[in-house]
Amino acid sequence: MPYLFTLIVTLFLTGCVRPSIGNNTAQTEKKPESIQLEGNYTLEKGLIVYSDSDMSINKTINSSNLVIEKLDENDFGFYYTTQIEDRYTGKYFGIFHYKDGKFYQKVIEDKGEVSLLENLELIKEDKKLKLTLKTNHGKRVIIWKEDPKMVITKELKEVQKSYIKICKEEYMKIEKD
């Protein structure tokens, strides 16, 4: 008899407890996706378009090399060069920041303040990377392909030095604070 009484009370109490749906965070939380950008890239194709009231430019990028390194889970340091019609070599560097499924340009100000700019679109598909960078009067669109055997040019070494001094060292200082 005591066994039957215990069984009935247990069943009654079990029926009165609400099931906890969604409280198991291990099952319901999604892990952030791991982005793999780091590596060396060479130009597949590129274009610079610029237009204002005085002039219009539509130039092909003839060569470009890009290096990306992972700084942390969401930040990627980058530096690259572009050569436009064998005349002008552009040198660029900075940090791509990944947040909520989208990339931003992370800017470190003189006083150590950080801001995120929405002036770019970065898309990684297989072994290709497409960057669309918007400016006041135009945009730069570059498609690179992964190239682990990419030759580091003199110009790329120069921009690497600037990237390390201006961008990466400042980033490391901020991250330590």
Residue 105 in this model has a pLDDT that exceeds 60:
yes
pTM flag (> 0.95): no
Residue type, 155: E
Whole-number pLDDT of residue 136: 87
Kindly list the domain boundaries of the chain, sorted by start residue.
39-176
Per-residue pLDDT tens digits for 3-52 = 443 434 343 333 443 433 344 444 444 445 678 899 999 999 999 998 88
Which CATH fold topology does 39-176 show? Lipocalin (2.40.128)
User: Which residues sit opposite 65 in a β-bridge?
Assistant: 42, 81
